[in-house]
Amino acid sequence: MSIPPHCRPGVSLKTLWLSVFTYAFFGASVLAQPPTTASPALQWPRFLNSDFSGSVNAVGMAARQWNVEPKLDWTIPVGDGYGLGVVQEGAYFHFDASERTERIRMIAMDSGKTIWERTYELNYRDLYGYETGPRCSPTCDGDLVFSFGAAGMLTAWAIDDGTKLWQVDTNEKYSVVQNFFGVGSAPLVLGDLVIVMVGGSPVADQAIAPGRLDRVSPNGSLAVAFDRSTGKELWRCGNDLASYSSPRTMQIDGQDYVLMLAREHLHLIDPRQGKSIGQTRFRADILESVNAMTPVVEGTRVLIGDCYDLGSVVFDVKIEDGQADFNEVWRDPENNRRNQSLRSHLSTPVLCDGHLYACSGRNAPDSDFRCVEFATGKVKWTALDRRRSTATRVGEILLVLKETGPLHIVRCTPDEYDELAVWNLDQSDGDRPAITYPCWAAPVVVGEQVLIRGDGDLLCLRLPDPARR
């Protein structure tokens, strides 16, 4: 996808608290042919968009009439789960749970009508009482869409008619000991590979008491690559347990590598060899701590962070003699939350023009939204105190969604917190239902439409018209 020259790829989004962390046929199928020609601006094919930036290219957005109430294109009820879906070729794919089944639906973007719906049995119980549905987005790739459920069921679906082409129960196959909140990492499609974070263990570890991940051992299946067409395992690597972060690519010396922020370490994986070529430890020494944000990349520099004790760190990643070196650029002081630049938790920062825009903090009382200089960790400004949020960038505008439902329209600038408007989506307005807590998924923007979900409803809103002159 094309990004303005002044805005380099970064990311935004989230899965769950970790995180992480979306009937009748509508005429003939609108996707009878594999998608190949749609404009990148009309796609959002995977979590954080095609370039992992949580952004879309657009011009003149600040001049739009943001202070006018948003127009509703359509709305649908959604089941259990915390993620938002993905968009390809005029269709939205939502992944959720309903009545002890996981469900994926293909929905027409122009009308909100369901084109097809498919389900399978879900056997999952959350250890801490959270919802039973998916914690992550599906991934579209050509004529297929891949879903990865809360209980580790990886499925390939045909986009045109919803046929289930293959399915792998990764929890069973790799003896995964249930993480605190189930599986919460989106699939990564790289050529003929479908790469997922599995994090299995020896079979004997199934006897360990629930929640005692400190006693669980890895078995070399942190990352597993499956054949895109058949679901056959092609390779596995990484001696670590899974987190709620999602894998992403980065380029070094013209080659694609995979970054995976797992439970204990940040790994760099060579997908051609199917092995981890380097790792650096990153996890707070608290049993219940989790890694959830997706790494942010600018060139060969990588930012990761947590909200417990560590804050953030930026590495410059080099490869020498086939091994990765993680050279520290700057690091927040450990166990010193007041002086940490960025404490990412349920959302991934947006990177634009050398600055990160993100929620910082674990829970509402100690959270805010801030701007941080990527190269130095210097905090430029803070706002929206005492509330968690997620953000998506559209051109020069940030759409900052509070977890309680209000959407703040903010100019993307390091100079100051410049709020243009607030859409009170937590309040109903005519045909538009109110969205309710928890709103943990960052908005998805495709063309003139904005997708936003709360606990029980998904809204498809229309971007405001340009201001009249």
**Average confidence score pLDDT of the chain:** 91
Phi, psi for residue 28 in degrees, rounded to 5: -80, 160
In degrees, to the nearest 5, what angle opens at C-alpha 392 toward C-alphas 10 and 225?
Answer: 55
pLDDT reading at 2 higher than 50: no
Q: How confident is the model at residue 18 (pLDDT cuts 50, 70, 90)?
A: very low
- Pairwise CA distance, residues 312 & 179, whole Å: 23
Q: How confident is the model at residue 5 (pLDDT cuts 50, 70, 90)?
A: very low
Q: How confident is the model at residue 90 (pLDDT cuts 50, 70, 90)?
A: very high
- Pairwise CA distance, residues 20 & 29, whole Å: 33
- Per-residue pLDDT, 346: 86
pLDDT reading at 12 higher than 60: no
Q: Residue 450: which of 464, 438, 440 has the closest Cα?
A: 464
pLDDT reading at 24 higher than 80: no
Q: Which CATH architecture has domain 40-462?
A: 7 Propeller (2.130)
pLDDT reading at 23 higher than 80: no
190-219: per-residue pLDDT in tens?
999 999 999 999 999 999 998 999 999 999
Question: Model-level pTM?
Answer: 0.91
- Edge-to-edge order in the sheet of strand 312-320: 296-298, 301-305, 312-320, 323-331
Q: Residue 133: which of 293, 38, 21 has the closest Cα?
A: 21
pLDDT reading at 440 higher than 70: yes
- Per-residue pLDDT, 210: 87
- Per-residue pLDDT, 40: 64
Give the residue with greater pLDDT, 9 vs 146. 146
- Per-residue pLDDT, 300: 98
What six digits make up the tokens of 116?
């097809």
- Per-residue pLDDT, 84: 97
pLDDT reading at 107 higher than 70: yes
233-285: per-residue pLDDT in tens?
999 999 999 999 999 999 999 999 999 999 999 999 999 999 999 999 999 99
pLDDT reading at 354 higher than 90: yes
Tell me the one-letter amino acid at 232: K
- Edge-to-edge order in the sheet of strand 350-352: 350-352, 355-360, 368-373, 379-383
